[in-house]
Amino acid sequence: MLSILKEKKKPPNVFSTSSLSFFFSTWFSPSSLSQHQDPILTTLSQAIQNTPQTPLSISLKRLLPSLTPSHITSLISHNPFSLPPPSLLSFFKWVSSQPGLRLPLHTYSTMAHFLCSHHLLSDAQSLLKFVVSRKGKDSAASIFASLLQTKGTHQPNSAFVALMNAYTDSGFISDAIQCSRLARKHGFGVPFHSCSCLLDKMLKSNSPAAAWAFYSEVLDNGLPPNVYSFNMLMHSFCKNGKVKEARLIFDEIQRRGLEPTVVSFNTLINGYCKSGDLEAGFGLKRVMLEEARISPDVFTYSVLINGLCKERRLEEANEMFEEMCKRGLVPNDVIFTTLIDGHCKEGRSGVALEIYHEMLRKGVKPDLVAYNALVNGLCKSGDLREARRVVDEMRRRGLRPDKITFTTLMDGCCKEGDVAAAIEIREEMAREGIKLDNVAYTALLSGLSKEGRVIDAEKILREMLRAGMTPDEATYTMVIDGYCKKGDVKMGFKLLKEMQSNGLAPGVVTYNVLMNGLCKQGQMENANMLLNAMLNIGVVPDDVTYNILLEGHCKHGDVEDFDRLRSEKGLVSDFGTYTSLINEYGKKSRKRQAQ
């Protein structure tokens, strides 16, 4: 006897719109009564035939209480009135949704065979997927056994394939694998297409090791190898950073009697380059050319050029670019963008501009990424005029600047001291409906702080907070520094308290800014108290802290000791040395005052 199908959380009903409130019971053997003489089967068949005129809920209302699973099984197995398969399927969906009738696994298996025998494979798979959803994981053995026992005169291969596919679609990988093994064990052969679908599912679920183990198994059992599957396995291993395993798969291609394709080589070269092993990538390129007699394509060069640019080997990247052009290959937008970005990051915006113009000459259309990389490089090199010209050209070519474009320009203007231009850009962003992010706010705030416009800087800080953003320690410190330089140390401490209330832990740089503000005002006692407060909360002062304090004592202490204290600057790097020095200075100062 098959065990009763366990109730799991109810999935969507694949058989009717109403919910299924039934449990599976043990299954029954068909009656030995002649099928044509069974009045119940006759009634059922006639009701099904008359369904267009009379709904089953009406025609079978009286019969339904006396229906048993064996009646349903017999009707499906023998179909004495040769009902059309779609009609019988509609009846099955209806009867399986009746709360008073519990259909066993045996009946579902019989129905699956019936559907497969009439080439309704999609319906058979949907039915079995429903059964799988009720039985859950680790149910392959029981369902397979039921299909085996109910096969009758049907060829069961299609039903086993449908079951394997049902497990694959449900994500029950181990059950799907067991189905393939059970099919082989009982001599039904390997369902090749289903195995390929299962392999794809395993690769998409990011399980390359398990996928390779399964693929090896089915290859050894007769599945014809294909390069596409090997390439997908390599790609999955490389994506997970397992390039050594990908190389083993690459070597397996020839051992299985196949030849690697350009995609095979490119996949592994890409893996090597992304893992930082450029030499292995170039070595494989040589094998590709000299041994496999396969010409590298645009993707091959794109991967290698990208790897070289990441390692700042720009001259070699340029050589690769020239080599591909000599081979008659046309560089795509990805290659041009990679080169532009690589040169910009090295401060070679002039070279990046030349590459951009060559890109246009070759008829390759730059995208937003390419323009943003170029604008960023020009802004970093201080060439704001050219950066603006590039943005204008970008607009003429039908591309709209995005948040990155505007933020890069704004940051460039602020670094060059042109805060007015940065504010204009900010207003343009508002007109375009582009909201500022943390980077944009911080760039603007930095520019205002450097210009001494601390009130405006604080307004930007408040605007950030209203926009739901959390300014970081560096952002707060810029505003604190602005207030301290204006002599408003009190406001600086107010912002320090706000930082701490917002969950930020000010570091030594923030405290140094406040320390500098106190010392410039001659508040040496408060400066020493701040030093003790730093130590109490675990913020370790650095040499900048002590030198700020020494400078304060020099400017606001005894003039006779000014030169000696000044000579100590840069030599004091810890609290003990500083305390000893200041105590000695204090004793001598008091002694002179007493005399």
Which pLDDT score, from 0 to 100, does residue 541 have?
Answer: 86
118 and 39 Cβ atoms separated by less than 8 Å: no
Beta-carbon count within 10 A of 468 CB: 6
71 vs 39: CA distance, rounded Å = 11
pLDDT-flagged residues of the chain (< 50): 1-35, 559-562, 565, 568-569, 590, 592-595
Which pLDDT score, from 0 to 100, does residue 575 have?
Answer: 59
Largest Cα–Cα distance of the chain, in whole Å?
Answer: 135
Mapped onto helix, strand or coil, the DSSP state of residue 135 is helix
Nearest to 274 by CA among 232, 243, 229: 243
Nearest to 371 by CA among 344, 332, 411, 346: 344
pTM over 0.85: no
Q: CA dihedral in degrees (144, 145, 150, 152; nearest 10)?
A: 90
CA neighbours within 13 Å on the CB side: how many for 582?
A: 21
Which pLDDT score, from 0 to 100, does residue 30 have?
Answer: 40
126 and 11 Cβ atoms separated by less than 8 Å: no
Which pLDDT score, from 0 to 100, does residue 6 have?
Answer: 39
Which pLDDT score, from 0 to 100, does residue 15 have?
Answer: 36
Which pLDDT score, from 0 to 100, does residue 101 have?
Answer: 85
Beta-carbon count within 10 A of 179 CB: 28
CA neighbours within 13 Å on the CB side: how many for 510?
A: 23
Which pLDDT score, from 0 to 100, does residue 573 have?
Answer: 53
Which pLDDT score, from 0 to 100, does residue 37 have?
Answer: 61
Nearest to 444 by CA among 416, 418, 468, 411: 411
* CA distance from start to end of the chain: 112
Which pLDDT score, from 0 to 100, does residue 80 have?
Answer: 87
Structure tokens at 15: 């058989």
390 and 358 Cβ atoms separated by less than 8 Å: no
The position carrying tokens 């810890």 is 574
Q: What angle do CA 523, 528, 529 make, to 5 degrees?
A: 95
Which pLDDT score, from 0 to 100, does residue 13 have?
Answer: 39
77 vs 73: CA distance, rounded Å = 6
